[in-house]
């Protein structure tokens, strides 16, 4: 099994705030809050989800793995926290907070000894059981890409019925072949089927 690629991983993690800001900072409010339908997330929801993860998930769980405490269990992650934490905020607020949180987290990550021994250390995920630090950090990178793809899908959705025959060449608007994340069922223990079965590929769940 491949381990965490520190240079490539940090490079991708560093780009995400800039990509989001360049892409979304000037988005109209109705576009920011539009979704693919009932039970799915908007751009505003997705950025709020990313921010909450940045504050409570990746580094917090890595610190448990690298710590000396006997309890290796991760606290469950609230995948729906943005429904309350983002209330009263603008998309621009969330983007700024995400950029600041990511910069601080990367500074923390850069200071760690990510030796093969440490990357092999483990913690206990509430659904998956034992996971390694390398897997956690790799998931952090892939999670960004998952939601960048989801954002592209959400932004493309309003154009689906306007492109006419070109839809055949645009898999991003074809539900059957390029589905984006929707809000997972609250009882789901992990990334599982969403309200719309066509939305399984890019689940909005945080592992």
Using the 8-state DSSP alphabet, how is residue 74 labeled? P
What is the model's pLDDT at position 195? 32
Full-model pTM: 0.86
133 contact partners, CB below 8 Å, separation of at least 6: 4, 62, 65, 66, 114, 118, 119, 120, 121, 122, 123
* Cα separation, 65 vs 140, whole angstroms: 15
* Cα separation, 168 vs 60, whole angstroms: 44
- Domains of the chain with bracketed CATH: 6-199 (1.20.120.450)
Measured in whole angstroms, the distance separating CA 48 from the mean position of its chain's CA atoms is: 10
Per-residue pLDDT 10s for the chain (207 aa) are 788 999 999 999 999 999 999 999 999 999 999 999 988 999 999 999 999 999 999 999 999 999 988 999 999 999 999 999 999 999 999 999 999 999 999 999 999 999 999 999 999 999 999 999 999 999 999 999 999 999 999 999 999 999 999 999 999 998 644 444 445 444 333 332 233 433 434 444 556
């Amino acid at each position: 099994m491949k381990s965490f690629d520190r240079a490539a991983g940090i490079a991708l993690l560093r780009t995400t705030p800039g990509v989001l800001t360049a892409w979304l900072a000037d988005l109209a409010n109705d576009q920011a809050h539009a979704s693919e339908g009932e039970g799915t997330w908007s751009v505003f929801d997705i950025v709020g989800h990313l921010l909450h993860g940045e504050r409570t998930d990746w580094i917090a769980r890595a610190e448990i793995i690298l710590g000396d405490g006997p309890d290796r269990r991760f606290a469950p992650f609230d995948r729906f926290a943005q429904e309350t934490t983002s209330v009263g905020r603008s998309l621009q607020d969330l983007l700024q907070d995400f950029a600041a949180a990511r910069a601080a987290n990367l500074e923390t990550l850069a200071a760690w000894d990510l030796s093969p021994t440490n990357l092999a250390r483990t913690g206990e995920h509430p659904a998956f059981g034992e996971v390694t630090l390398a897997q956690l950090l790799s998931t952090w990178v892939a999670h960004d890409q998952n939601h960048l793809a989801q954002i592209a899908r959400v932004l493309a959705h309003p154009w689906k019925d306007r492109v006419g025959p070109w839809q055949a060449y645009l898999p991003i608007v074809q539900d059957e072949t390029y589905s984006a994340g929707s809000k997972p069922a609250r009882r789901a223990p992990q990334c599982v089927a969403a309200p719309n079965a066509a939305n399984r590929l890019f689940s909005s769940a945080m592992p």
